[in-house]
Structure 1
């Protein structure tokens, strides 16, 4: 068909793919279409025709709208604007919130069905916050163009686009963000509002980190302002409760060699400690040395808590060399793991399963990587016994899942 890039095509979206794009077909070829909703007929501009089996395209006009379509929560990302000038970061912002969650549930259930041969009814639970799903981001990273313009990147690009507001940000972050102040010579700006104060602050480029406090319930966590912390204001408390609920107390041994893998500053290790008491033994493992320094402080009240700086794959492979006594403690262990978007992967899960922990609680931010790991764990004798999903990122395609696995 020749070079199709830039050409406009009319297609009907029939499904939602992982990644926030709808699935359509044109002459037997799959077309992934941004800013469309399953059931809609749209005019879309082809942006990528390099692959013979599928193309990518951006919606430029809606011919037949879904009843779930709403005015975009971010005016600059509206379908009325040229796709090249739409900011990324709110790719579900044109969809009714309840339907967003239904689509995310479908994507997760479909991934489990296809990749793990597991049938699951999935409900994506809303978090506390505004009824319209805005005002939840406590951290916003903005970029700076060569001429000093500050803004987000356009969708699927590294081009800065100017915007007048940040509707997903908490009020303090939105008010401080320098959207109308050129900053020539700067590469990026992070604006964040620590929960301990609610007062927003800016971090310019690779500025030396400052230690801040984040509050979850009655507990404070020390964390670098440039370090990892959950972005949704209600996410830390939500995940704390979800992990606590996912652990089967009948299988939990406070004296076992319990583990918190990819543990960051110790949020989920503390969740385990708060659920099962001050005598809990748990080791949190994280590759970032600054984060493990903070984890040591954040977990200081548990005598049996420890924080180890290590890549998780190296750490779990070393478990096979443990003494007979320690292997017994590992076999009685509960393991919490919160891997990056790529998932834990077969190497980590195989090394972990080799020491036969009692139960695993897996916190997942990518449904496809999670489903792939569910399949791996099933082959290693660990059955998915419980699953919850949470809308930690309203108006985006992202969804968080918490799965429980027991050794069969």
Structure 2
């Protein structure tokens, strides 16, 4: 920390950066400002100046508000509280919902321009739209989280961490959570003595919520997506938004080019979890589909095998995706390679993206198409650039606002071999 930490600055906010933080300049230096909106003038307190190239600051008051500024959806995160005591997890909660999607659109377009050297409007033939999930506009983007992680302080009070901090903030409500989660979250002071981490979740396949304390041994629960049910661990990965699994299933099915979908191909679901997207592809191909889901989490792989049981040709294989791909590329027979070449690859990697090594191995299999589900626009753009070097071009892209009142979004892209 330097001498400027704690200094109050008057700033004109000019843009939005990846990560949901606004951008301003002070005497030529970039300042990343929380709780602001592009176009505003604010007073912000410097919180970090370790890097000479930029500072970080928290808004403490607004001199000239944006027309898109609204009362924060989470009262404890509003400007009248000290920044150190504002809970994290709703960093766009002071911005009108439609404008949040405009900002997310801007970040997505900028990410592709900077990291993939792609003009999305030019490639897609239209402007990309960040689409709302069903019901979110009517609910003002509230009540969508089916899973919430809380932390417990020394007094036994559960709450979220403050933004960019490990300080537990006591709160009286969780407005982004579903009613069931909100009703079941033990937010009263001192309600969880001796605990450290608490997950509150409301699986769609059961009534009521579950409390998982200190990552206890996993228990299988059921999630319902359309006409399908999926077994998943209560401590395992599942999409957080109540509609996300359905939205992404439909998006993957929409982005798969049916003309490139060969019923005789081997279709891959990489980072497959419990088989959600493998099932989405399987429904397109039919009962004889050859599906292989690859997932590093052993229990998730077991659940995937169960969830995909209706397809005789379905396999769920445990292992790291990069190692599985490398082994497959090296050991597959000629006939198997022909089927991989005829296949569709779906991947839903972690926030950091698939990375170059995985992209190289996918391209080595020469699949007919790659459908990439991403929760980070910069990671997606970087990987799209890598795939372009490997002979796969971006052909289609959709984006979804599956995390209202936060900076996060999901995007689904189709990559196809360059003709």
Q: What TM-score do you get using the length of structure 2 for normalisation? A: 0.96
Whole-angstrom distance in 1 between the partners of 2:26 and 2:114: 24
Q: Which of 241, 250, 254 lines up with 1:232 in the alignment?
A: 241
Structure 2: gaps of 5 or more residues: 121-126
Whole-angstrom distance in 1 between the partners of 2:177 and 2:264: 42
1:206-285 equivalences under 5 Å are 206-285=215-294
Whole-angstrom distance in 2 between the partners of 1:74 and 1:205: 26
Quote how far apart the aligned CAs of 1:59 are: 0.3
Whole-angstrom distance in 2 between the partners of 1:161 and 1:2: 26
In structure 1, what is the equivalent of residue 93 of structure 2?
93
Quote how far apart the aligned CAs of 1:325 are: 1.0
Q: Which of 321, 327, 333 lines up with 1:323 in the alignment?
A: 333
Q: Which of 324, 349, 365 lines up with 2:359 in the alignment?
A: 349
In structure 2, what is the equivalent of residue 177 of structure 1?
185
Structure 1: gaps of 5 or more residues: none
Q: How many residues align?
A: 408
Matched, 1:126 2:132: yes
Quote how far apart the aligned CAs of 1:106 are: 0.5
Q: Which of 121, 144, 169 lines up with 1:136 in the alignment?
A: 144
Whole-angstrom distance in 2 between the partners of 1:8 and 1:149: 32
* Cα offsets for 1:271-312 (capped at 9, x unmatched): 111122111111000000000000000000001110000100
Q: Secondary structure at the match of 2:338?
A: helix
Whole-angstrom distance in 1 between the partners of 2:2 and 2:11: 19
Whole-angstrom distance in 1 between the partners of 2:279 and 2:357: 27
Quote how far apart the aligned CAs of 1:2 are: 5.6
Whole-angstrom distance in 1 between the partners of 2:133 and 2:207: 19
Whole-angstrom distance in 2 between the partners of 1:144 and 1:105: 36
Quote how far apart the aligned CAs of 1:351 are: 1.1
In structure 2, what is the equivalent of residue 26 of structure 1?
26
Q: What TM-score do you get using the length of structure 1 for normalisation? A: 0.99
Q: Secondary structure at the match of 2:365?
A: coil
Whole-angstrom distance in 2 between the partners of 1:323 and 1:255: 16
Q: Which of 313, 333, 347 lines up with 2:343 in the alignment?
A: 333
Whole-angstrom distance in 1 between the partners of 2:207 and 2:255: 30
Quote how far apart the aligned CAs of 1:394 are: 0.2
Whole-angstrom distance in 1 between the partners of 2:271 and 2:329: 19
In structure 2, what is the equivalent of residue 194 of structure 1?
203
Whole-angstrom distance in 1 between the partners of 2:379 and 2:48: 24
In structure 2, what is the equivalent of residue 11 of structure 1?
11
In structure 1, what is the equivalent of residue 158 of structure 2?
150
Q: Secondary structure at the match of 2:37?
A: coil
* Cα offsets for 1:356-389 (capped at 9, x unmatched): 1110000000011111001001111101000000
Whole-angstrom distance in 1 between the partners of 2:153 and 2:302: 35
Q: Which of 287, 310, 326 lines up with 2:296 in the alignment?
A: 287
Partners of 2:146 and 2:178 within 8 A in 1: yes
Matched, 1:50 2:50: yes
Whole-angstrom distance in 2 between the partners of 1:133 and 1:401: 18
Partners of 1:189 and 1:205 within 8 A in 2: yes
Whole-angstrom distance in 2 between the partners of 1:295 and 1:60: 48
1:303-314 equivalences under 5 Å are 303-314=312-323
Q: Secondary structure at the match of 1:264?
A: coil
Deviation beyond 3 Å, 4+ runs, structure 1: none
Whole-angstrom distance in 1 between the partners of 2:93 and 2:277: 30
Partners of 1:232 and 1:393 within 8 A in 2: yes
Partners of 1:129 and 1:136 within 8 A in 2: no
Whole-angstrom distance in 2 between the partners of 1:103 and 1:247: 27
* Cα offsets for 1:196-231 (capped at 9, x unmatched): 124111111121111100000111000000000000
Q: Secondary structure at the match of 1:354?
A: helix
Q: Secondary structure at the match of 1:296?
A: helix
* Cα offsets for 1:239-263 (capped at 9, x unmatched): 0000001111111112212100000
